[in-house]
Structure 1
Amino acid sequence: MKLSVNGTKLFFDVVGSSLEPAAKFRQKPTMIVLHGGPGFDHTYLRPWLDPVSEVAQLVYVDERGSGRSARHTREYYQLGIMADDIVALCKTLAIERPIVLGQSFGGFVALRIATRYPDFTSGIVLFDTSPAWTGGYDLDALEQLVGGERGKELREIAYREETGVATEAELKRFELEIMPLYWHQNFKEEALREMFDNPLINMNIASYMMGTLSKEYDLRPHLAEIKVPALVLQGRYDWVTPMLGAEEMARGIPNARLHIFEHSGHMVFMEEPEELVTVLKEWVISLR
């Protein structure tokens, strides 16, 4: 489904009812799910998060410039505008006080919503994400993980990718040699192939926003302003959005809870899916 809001057209898909038949049709909360990238779409998070629909209606959204949503010129790719998009989408759909879950880059948008619209959500889930991108990847961890001269080469490529200046050849090496290291265990080559073979991927927004974020994105000074409960989810071996950022969010947000997945990197939803679903469902229920 597509909806025109805030000068764009956003694609969204809904999983689960908003009512619980087994509980005399009690209203369930709505969870807005925001994907990473930027430039991917919501589909890589499915079916992994779908079971959470037992306790919350899930609304997966393709952010502006991504997936099935409308493309724009670069000046319209800004976190503030993306936050405005989600708020406008919810208002148009009459969704009140949603939970907002953001994975990776989607967490940047979720944090921006929480700081820009402090009374809008009933809670936020910050999932393998970071409150700042001025430090970017943990390049030391990446280099050590790979080792040798190749480790040094991939470190440089990752640095160029995270700052938005990588060449097409370097981006291809990032895809083939670095992206598999997003997993700590249970690497799923077919899932990676699906992500990059997806004809809807938009590398234009990816390169542009990574370069912009590396200079501008830092919400650490505003974490204490977040009023709503926050669930911070972090893979122990995630060098993409490192543990330091998760710990900063858990300390800085007044009502935050940190859950660490001890056997995961950046792809927790594929590495430890059962624990993830359990943690999410229990936290959503605790908000009632």
Structure 2
Amino acid sequence: MNDKLSLLALTLVLFLPMLSASPGAGANSDQLPKPYGQGSYIPSKFGKLYYEEEGAGTPVVMINGGPGASRTVFWGALDFLKPYNYKIVYFDETGVGRSTRNIPETFSPKITVQDIETLRKHLDVNKIVLAAHSYGGIPALQYAIQYPQNVEKLIMLSASADGISQQMNVDAAKYLRRTFFPQEWEALEKIRAKGVLSSEKEYSKPFYDRKMGNVSDWHDPKNRAKLRKYRSTDQRDRFNIEVYRDIAGNDPEVEITGTLKDIVVNKETLKSFNVPTLILNGRIDWKTTPQMAYRFYKMLPEGVGRLEFLEKTGHWTWAEEPDKFAEIVIRFLGSDSPPEI
């Protein structure tokens, strides 16, 4: 593993899922069931976008976290929707996964907004459902604000809403380290005093411990093994650290300074927002905290948002209470039972 990938494994604030054992762990594309790893490309502003789809009906487009993570963590997460006439679409936005990774501009959530619109047009549908996890909530919400006529519903899964949310995320992570890992925090302070930035490996190495990831991500760490139904080892699906740095900044575990910083939503921004929105958060989520979810909910016009908490769940909303997760999503989408065939 090179230094860049080592840094990613060490970073707490990143919404990159921790690698875990699963039935498909270690599989190459040709060993995975379709459509995983066997998708299609479409032209985009900077080159090409990669996507995979399964099922038939209204597209539910999954928006990746990170920033910089690919679609693979979602594989199989929304399978329960397929009997209800929904098509699940996994896609890599510009800079991520198998889409064009190098561009002449600075990576920004605004690029992802246009990528979503490019994908919608290619799918040849009037409306899509957007389902976003973690950082992915930011470009998803921006798309829904810019193109409300194209969004049937918005699902925010332990998702950030804007740059302020991301800074709240950073502050929550710092509180976690300082309060529950005081020895590691002291070591960080000494490194910090030397001018080392939080995006550098020297900063990350002293404090990282699997138990810290367990505290921040999971209600029950044993549920980590349920996160990934399948896992790709294809290098094309790797995380892109440059996307992360452009969007979050060079000191992202202390202060958000990248292109994300100036993306802010408030009641005024959302006063005319009318896209039905589900905010589904883990109660035991140290990354996208219940406070962050409630802040976004309170900004939405009355009757537009629905706020739900999974009481025994951390950051990965579909992994720890899958039955309750499915029940809430299905009810929000307006289906109580699969359609008769």
Q: Report the TM-score, using the length of structure 2 for normalisation.
A: 0.70
Fraction of identical pairs, as percent: 24
Deviations 1:25-68 (A, max 9, x none): xxxx2211111111111111122222222221111111111111
1:277 aligns with 2:326: yes
Aligned to 1:188: 224
**Is the partner of 2:168 in helix, strand or coil?**
coil
Moved more, 240-249 or 94-103: 240-249
Distance 1:189 1:63 in 2: 27
User: How far off is 1:154 after superposition?
Assistant: 6.7
User: How far off is 1:195 after superposition?
Assistant: 7.6
Moved more, 145-154 or 71-80: 145-154
1:249 aligns with 2:249: no
1:136 aligns with 2:172: no
* Rg larger in structure: 2
**Is the partner of 2:269 in helix, strand or coil?**
helix
How do residues 142-181 of structure 1 correspond to structure 2 at under 5 angstroms?
A: 142-143=176-177, 146-151=180-185, 165-171=198-204, 176-177=209-210, 178-180=212-214, 181=216
Distance 2:74 2:246 in 1: 23
- The amino acid that maps onto 1:233 is L
Aligned to 1:209: 247
Aligned to 1:227: 274
Distance 1:6 1:17 in 2: 27
The total of aligned residue pairs comes to: 271
Deviations 1:240-261 (A, max 9, x none): 1222221122122220000101
Aligned to 2:315: 266
Deviations 1:214-241 (A, max 9, x none): 6323223523332210000111121212
Distance 1:156 1:236 in 2: 33
Would the alpha carbon gap of residues 216 and 174 (structure 1) be closer, same or farther in structure 2, given more than 3 Å must change?
A: farther
Distance 1:139 1:48 in 2: 26
Aligned to 2:112: 82
User: How far off is 1:173 after superposition?
Assistant: 6.1
**Is the partner of 2:163 in helix, strand or coil?**
coil
- The amino acid that maps onto 1:188 is R
1:40 aligns with 2:69: yes
Deviations 1:83-115 (A, max 9, x none): 011012111220221111111111111111011
**Is the partner of 1:223 in helix, strand or coil?**
coil
Q: CA RMSD in A?
A: 3.0
Deviations 1:99-140 (A, max 9, x none): 111111111111110112122201111111122333332136
Distance 1:2 1:84 in 2: 16
- The amino acid that maps onto 2:320 is E
Aligned to 1:114: 144
Would the alpha carbon gap of residues 222 and 16 (structure 1) be closer, same or farther in structure 2, given more than 3 Å must change?
A: same
Distance 2:275 2:136 in 1: 18
- The amino acid that maps onto 1:53 is K
Are 2:158 and 2:282, in contact at CA under 8 Å, matched by a contact in 1?
yes
Unaligned stretches of 5+ in structure 2? 1-39, 192-196, 250-257, 337-341
Q: Report the TM-score, using the length of structure 1 for normalisation.
A: 0.82
Distance 2:219 2:112 in 1: 30
Are 1:40 and 1:195, in contact at CA under 8 Å, matched by a contact in 2?
no
- The amino acid that maps onto 2:224 is K
Would the alpha carbon gap of residues 82 and 174 (structure 1) be closer, same or farther in structure 2, given more than 3 Å must change?
A: farther
How do residues 66-81 of structure 1 correspond to structure 2 at under 5 angstroms?
A: 66-73=96-103, 75-81=105-111
Distance 1:156 1:258 in 2: 41
Distance 2:102 2:233 in 1: 22
Unaligned stretches of 5+ in structure 1? 19-28, 158-163
Distance 2:69 2:208 in 1: 13
Are 1:233 and 1:261, in contact at CA under 8 Å, matched by a contact in 2?
yes
- More helix by percentage: 1
